[in-house]
Structure 1
């Protein structure tokens, strides 16, 4: 009876897998008819309320139109809650988190409206509150698609992309409607509009590429229509000029026509996809009935012949068991590990058929296992290709952004050379600082994609220069206190990555600590290399989170797109892994967090010629722009109110004269009391900034002659 029981168990297993596919299709159809339909109407009502709220935020006037729209939104919210209750058991564990997020956003709808009515929200802030609720709706859409049919899943994902693109059009419309009241877009609103437009174009391209001919034809007609062409032209003009269109009626008419077409095609496409899902579920149930009946007959026949062929069947099952164990415990895990390492895998070669001999039942089961194996291998290869594709997208976007930022930095250099106004120089310096930070963010994307750094130096770079350059790339660099460090240098090939790594840790320390506190950065020679510590005075983290973060830093996992909140952590982990650097997070004795960076001895270069304060010739090892930022952090008497170093200011009155030497005159009394110095006149400030500009210009020329 043992072979018979084994065969029955295998038959039940295959039947359960097939039944699971049918149940998944039926569940997806139920979710679409309840939550899917009601959430679509809810999204449309929220989009309309967002537009009306944008007008109210601009004019600061509440009207009956806004009140009526809010009433319709409330009715849609009630219908959505009722639909969730009707879905019942179809709402699985995978939907509870996104559904809870959406419910929480709907609960905040009253407070969002109150802030708008009371004039407590700016226009962009109020719109972003609605955007968050709509984002949670689209997140719910992602979890509604739970079918195992790859064709249906691909079409559903493409329709989801087209729907999200429709949402970005609505966001652009809401911004423009609000700006029409005062005929201007603020700088943050212009940046948001540009981001929406870029996301819309990307999603339209991705969604259109994934749709089949039947579903794609309608969207192609929309994109070729006059309303869409008019919208695209107006969109480009707004991005270029930063001003809303003057013809408000024309804009509204174009958006209304375009939105009507897109909503209609989206609804029709959803109905078609739902019908396909229902048909697939029905066909799967029929297949289950046929397969179940045939399998039952096979089991009954096996009972009759089990006495005669018992021993032979036992041997055949043993061979099948060995093949299955080898597949599940060796071949598939090895394949997944190879894919994780980035190796290319041939699906046809790896998905070899399970070779067993014996009765027809055994060979049928072997073929079933082979089908499961091919599906698993195909899915794993597809996931690996998707990760590589995402990494390539990161790399391409980062390179494009980096090229634009380099051009922007070059323009800023030219403007700084031609400007002698101190106020203008200060503004250009701030813009230069922001651009440098943007370049670091672009390099973070390159790091996540696995690309090597574009910047490197032939000569070793002093530790103090790397630390100061990293601090200069942080927004709140004035809060960072860099203590005196032992004179040493790091390998030039790793200098860019080390600067990036330290900058990420310092920025994290400034963000998660009170704004009135300082962040301490110190370093020291240790037996295994060079240690850099970054300590803040924040609230710290629980011990469990420290342990989890340290595991990621020690063994960086595959980057998860859903975990984008920890982007800096993944970047630090990748950079540390690239050069064998150890990074450890722990609680500070003062209550905050201390990040310890241990640079291995192989990257540390002894340079006794470097001076202790780091402001000498080692500063020339950095590129001109990084050197300018580092000098801005440590130069005394800057406009940001940094302290001025005064010679012998910290010595006692007895030692001041003795330390000067016989040939040096004592320092003036005023030098020891910088707070009592007279305020500079406008002419002196102008001369000071002009001198600073000439100095940085000479440094650029020297660095360009030296080369990286």
Structure 2
């Protein structure tokens, strides 16, 4: 299953690599034979050829050393010194040839180990010679010591006979067996020559002689059994010839002689002549067989070369042709697949979103033009391309239907929201009329509750309008004090009594952003109140900063995880497309849309009290310094009208000393042309004191009449001047008739707070009365 999921390019590459590996294996199998022949040739020239004369000279030195141990004559000592010099010269040449750089590559581990053993045995010759010269070694030990050195060389020969051709390898092993038999004969010759020089053969030497005779005959017979028929005939002729017959006769005489006899049955000259002739004939047989092995190796080498050319050259040509064909085919295949892939990406990344967006805007879409058929040929990939064309048309059709469905749903939501908004506006108007004419505190309290619920319903209706991509109808033309904006947001929060409002400063908000900022703050404050314990408060504060105006909303709840904070901040900064299935947190989506509309930055961060702090940064374009403090009535700013006679407690804003200079709010035109210049921006503009009217004992209002002759009622006309409220009951603000201004909301909230305090006082009195009655 893993290989099925592999990319096509990887599969083609694996196929080419497997083909190349197969060719490399076949070429190596053939090349290995040629390399083996090359290594054998190198070993023959570097090790075997230099060691053969060394082997002969060691055999001669052994014979002369044994003779020297039997006779202390000057001639034998001089012959030994000359032989040792000849042997040392050949040892030096052998070591130089065997330690050349290329021999290390030709030898395997076994061959390297045996070559090291040969070098070690050759180094022991110095101690052996010293022992012979000092007379500390007898003839048997000297013969055995030289035999160990010579045996190490034959062991090296055995590790080098590693030809892959079985016939050649068998012939080489047979010749080595005959050469070992000749070595045993030379060992026998040295032992007998020493005994002849002394004139007697000790019982130990006699036993050793008998074993040596049996050893060379066994080795020769075993090697001869593996000879080719032609070679076997030459061996039989040699063994049955005159030289070996005389050698066997002398060996028989010496073997049958009593070991205690004081003399030998033949002379030294007879033995030397017979032994030299037999060794020379056997050596000729071995060398002749080696030459024939070389002649047989020539066709094998030629055959190896031919197979190497066929497997290497022709196979390489076939591999190269296969690679070229595979690459060209794969490129054409990849080009078609990439074209199909690019078409799929274009459909998913460009066409479908574009079609959906255009349908969402209500445009007509030509599906045939938006999804032209792609031509991929008539092969298998072309058939896949035709299927893709069908899928493409179907996908665009479905996307168009889905986009039309979403647009329809969005229009339905917007229509329902507009209707709900209109009904809520009418409901608020009715409640306003009822609140004004109601005098019963309990009934007024219930009306305030209905009024508050209606305001929250209006915010929910506006949420649907925002989710539908439209703009709510509430707008202001003139600036509104920031504290009134925040109070208007509090009026739309259910549990507003838990919110603590800090001083907001003498700052006004431009009219075009008042409705959206009220809505945004209401959503954030509602969220803070909802996700914090009921016994905690939510604090709202604001101040001027270098980049505008900051409002902080801090709760004392459980807070949010860092990953949740990061995800919510990302959702607010870059709001995703609204989907009906992703309506888990509509409040954050509404906040993000409102903030995006006015470039307002909203950031959530951990609060040091364990909850969450929301930082709302209003840009400089939306805020202005208030040139008219709250303590003065009238002026150029738009004050939010009151809807009830109750007056909320005003919070005196505090102006910071290090705030950034902002442009003041637009002031109303002065009544006279020569009006005094305004004060600096950071200092609230104090209006000039008006001249006090002349004191009159009593001022009576002028009675006005309607067209029917009835007197016109003027509110507060009969009140004392100190008790009059100059705020008009129906202010002139540029809102829809069914909208409520922030000033009205502030007045209503003040009345609600007064009623709440009254209710708490009455509840406390009832508890006191109950406790007194129980006492």
TM above 0.5, yes or no, is no
Report the TM-score, using the length of structure 2 for normalisation. Answer: 0.41
Larger CA Rg, structure 1 vs 2: 2
Structure number having the greater helix percentage: 1
Report the TM-score, using the length of structure 1 for normalisation. Answer: 0.45
